[in-house]
Structure 1
Amino acid sequence: MKSPSRERFDDAQRPWSLFALFSVCALLVGWIALSATTDEGVSLLVYGLANLIVFTDAIDFGVRLYVHRRHTAVASELGGGETHLLSIDLAGARGARTGSVRVRPYAIIASIYNLEDELDEFMERLQPYRDHIWLISDGSTDKTAKRLQQAGWRCLDEEVNRHKPGALRHLLATLPPRVETVMVIDPDVRICGRHEGSVVDLERAIADLQRSGAAAACPRIAIERDGFLARFQALEYTLCFMVGRRSLADYGVTSGVSIYRRDALEWALAQHSMSIYAEDLENTVILLHAGERIYYDGRLVVSTHGPHTVRRWYSQRVGWYYGFLRLYTQRTRELWRIGRRAPFAMYNFIGYMGVLGLGLHVLRIASAALLLVSAAAILDGLFALGLLPTGRAINPVAFAGAIGSYLVLAVIALFTVVPRRERAYVGPILPIYFLYVLAHIV
């Protein structure tokens, strides 16, 4: 009998689901063709600006796939079966040693706050790793720490709320000296086993990091299947990790769930601003600037719940962008020095994050605005309202071309980077995923 956790991440590829997907795609193509028949001429400048989001995302997608192939070319030629899940040639990084992998002492650490209502579920998820877990109650005002201690879990009960970076720094100082590797997690994550999406178990991923000498490894984070909004976030996270982080070689970016060499994390937190905004990206910048290496290990999968409502989703993204803007303005010099270490580091940290993510964000908002006007023109034409005069600036072709092109890009991504077991889950939202992208930009 299949377990509930397996059902979350293991879709059977039903023919009807793919048929429904391609039927919707065909209808969308027909809609595009219908809107194009009403075209009275379109300005190439307006069309180019309106499709800036599509062009930049498509180019970035292709560049990252190519760069990952280059980074792991040697391992692929030697038949490395896990190469497509890693950002580096891990076999080369950890040496030619063979035989059983022995993991050295490690700890799983987390900062928790007022978790009493979800405590039973939290303990159930992490029970298999209980012997390695150290927790800190970061100024909780309920009985979180007391209940954990009564249940026999290691948990520091701190009255002062230091926020996550400060709490973890304090917790690290209390770990036994023998612990040399730490995995930082959030309270809502679940470490997936081999039957739930992971290719290796946790201890194998930790042992490989220990043998590689890198400062950190970032596993793949997947979104639990929980509502319509979760489908969009599931595809977004898949692209972020399977395309974005996987392309970065050993200039990777850590996340809220990452495995660190203990001394590297202690040093990073000693240099940290202690801000809760983009705190993981700040760890990355500190470590990479110091010459350390960080890689992506998609063989290990952890899952989490995304925001359930649009309001919470919007609040989360505002916090992300604020943290990104704060970090980039405060650590521009360090980011520039990281970029100078390698061509693709320059592309990612300066070109993509700095120029496109910040410098051209106003143009991307203008692009989204033009697309919304174009979409309004399509609806105006389809319902024969006659409210919007179509012309070179207000033209349905811009939106029709953008959503059609992004649909093609999304379908390519579905069959090239999305794991087979997840395709039927995210497939139905492909025709409207571009609208989610626009909402994210705005």
Structure 2
Amino acid sequence: MNQALVRREDLNVDNTLIQNIAAYSLQDASYWSFKGRSKRNHCHGLIQYPAMMVPEMQGELIDAIQSVDPNITTVFDPFVGSGTTMGESMMRGLDFVGHDINPLAILACEVKSGPLYVKKLNDKISDLLSAIELSNSNEVAVNFKGIDKWFLKEIQLELSSIYLAIKAEPSKWARKIFWLALSNTVRSTCNSRSSTYKLHIKSEEQIEKIGSAKVIFKKNLLKSFENIKAHKEMLTKNGHLKRSKSVSKVSIKNVDAKLRKKSKQKFDLLISSPPYGDNSTTVTYGQFSYLPLQWIDLSDINEKIDPSILSYQNAIDSSSLGGSLKESEDKRLKLINRSSSLDICIEKILKVNPENIKKLVSFVYDLDLSLKNAIDELRDNAYMIWTLGNRRISDIEVPLDKIMRELLESRGCTYVYEIERTIPSKRMASRNQIASTMGKESVLIMRR
């Protein structure tokens, strides 16, 4: 088949996809905002994680892509986060591969992926709660810099009782569920404010109101059980469960998107939402995870995890996109003329605060490395769906959607369509004082 004919067929498929997606907006201009139509239940309710995607939107986008490309069997997410895309892929019986640098994200995804031994889990929860009730630890089970700053002594002892009881559970699959419930408990019982993902101390009055870690953990664990039970019921209803395990083959890896090695497999569809900016100043996933990870046995997540990622509260964020500001001028030279939108944005920021260029350039440089790796993982003509938000630097909007499009086009990818959506509510914007930046998102659809 000649290249012109192949090209024409590709464009016909793209046009059909555009028409299918645009049809929703014709009925309702605010359709893709999902206001009042989004719920975080079953597996999506197992963790509160920063900047989570809308499950229903990701699911409908998968359906739209499958309507024009029925050969999709594997979905890839290089920034898997809490696993929203993974959950929706499992609901459709699709295999899934997810990568993330944050161990807490890996834990959340591994719990969601199963196994879903509901009856066994119910018994193990009863045993665990009984053990915790009988335990009154006199010693703190973990130690890290700042523990007395971030936790009251009585909370440290209660968390230690929970920690030791979980460690005594013989089944690793059950321990992971318990660790995830403990992570939610740590966030509720620490002395850091819940109004931000950065670590900021609560007022004395707020600290005095912190409840019992044991009581809160029990509530979180029972809620987790109900969500896992509902997750299993959903998979069963959709015909995608076999012997308490999802029929989807799921692989979750704790790797750095900008450094990871190329895999042998070629994926059929990419759906992801990369960080909207460097983690130090936008969404601090690492700081959010820092305290919970101190109370989790990291070897249950990944035996090869380097403990230094918890050596200080910004360690994960410093290893993430844009975490290093070194050699920013060299990085800029490598990016120059790859994205006209980036070049224009840099010139605007230079006039206001030249130092802030380092943040932008370092982030985009690392993002571009990640994009190269992600593209290499895809089969020919595979679609990519990127959910993006435009942050501000020096009060100048950074057009990440345009920058992403141009970087991908410079690597041979084809632009297909873009959806702009308002964010009716998202655990990110107002909590990090960037509401004016993140009131809208763009969904960028590209093809390899």
Shorter-chain TM band: under 0.3
Relative to the length of structure 2, the TM-score reads 0.27
> Normalized per residue, which structure has more helix?
1
Larger radius of gyration: 1
**Higher relative CO (CA 8 A, sep ≥ 6), structure 1 or 2?**
1
